[in-house]
Amino acid sequence: MQAEQIDALAWDKQDGLLPAIVQDAGTLRVLMLGYMDRAALQVSLDSRRVTFFSRSRGRLWMKGEQSGHFLDLVSIEADCDGDTLLVTARPNGPTCHLQRASCFATAKGDFLAELQGLVDRRDCERPAGSYTTKLFDAGVRAIAQKVGEEGVEAALAAVAQDDRALLGEAADLLFHLIVLLRSRGLSLHDATEVLRSRHAEASRPVA
């Protein structure tokens, strides 16, 4: 966000404060609502950690300054009226003081993105007894073979079994595909971006 964009925001509507909705950059779950004044917005942009103006404390407050559960800034954009901010961030631990991921107890997010995050952590930590650890330890070839098996099972379920069986096999295939992509240093997000690019290309008007 550039200086001229900051100046154009509707600071005068709410006594110099703008509501800031924070969204998880990975799962898209809404995490919390805070308020920013000009200084909080600038500190957030400069430090790359989400900072608010605390109305109760009467000062700037960097989320996580006491708990260590910082919100690493990804982006900030204003709405069409310039009086509300959408902040995307990557949380370092629970956002809510009740130790929940979100201050909104039932806020929905992208479960596949959450699963990708779990698989990523399993790859880094390799906890003993974890099935995902076993897959990573077996190597890319073994994981690829497992994806092939799950793909065949999903195809067979589609023609010979009921919907529940097909969904179960499809879930197995998705999980193992995420593990395979991770084993190659890739993610489901990367595959989604290929689909997004193809869609954009197909939707482009023919000259």
Sign of the CA dihedral running 36, 38, 39, 43: positive
Find tokens 């779990």 and name the residue: 118
Decide if 101 is inside a domain.
no
pTM recorded for the entire structure = 0.76
Same structural domain, 7 and 87: yes
Same structural domain, 66 and 139: no
pLDDT at 207: 63
Pick from 68, 70, 86, 90: which is nearest to 78 by CA?
86
Residues 149-200: tens digit of each pLDDT: 999 999 999 999 999 999 999 999 999 999 999 999 999 999 999 999 999 8
Decide if 87 is inside a domain.
yes
Decide if 99 is inside a domain.
no
Same structural domain, 78 and 120: no
Q: Tell me the CB-side half-sphere exposure of residue 156, using CA atoms within 13 A.
A: 7
Same structural domain, 75 and 124: no
Structural domain that includes position 171: 111-203
Q: Say whether pLDDT at 205 is over 90.
A: no
Same structural domain, 115 and 199: yes
Q: What is the mean pLDDT of residues 62-70?
A: 94
Q: Say whether pLDDT at 15 is over 80.
A: yes
- The count of domains in the chain is 2
Phi/psi at 75 (5° precision): -160, 160
Same structural domain, 84 and 115: no
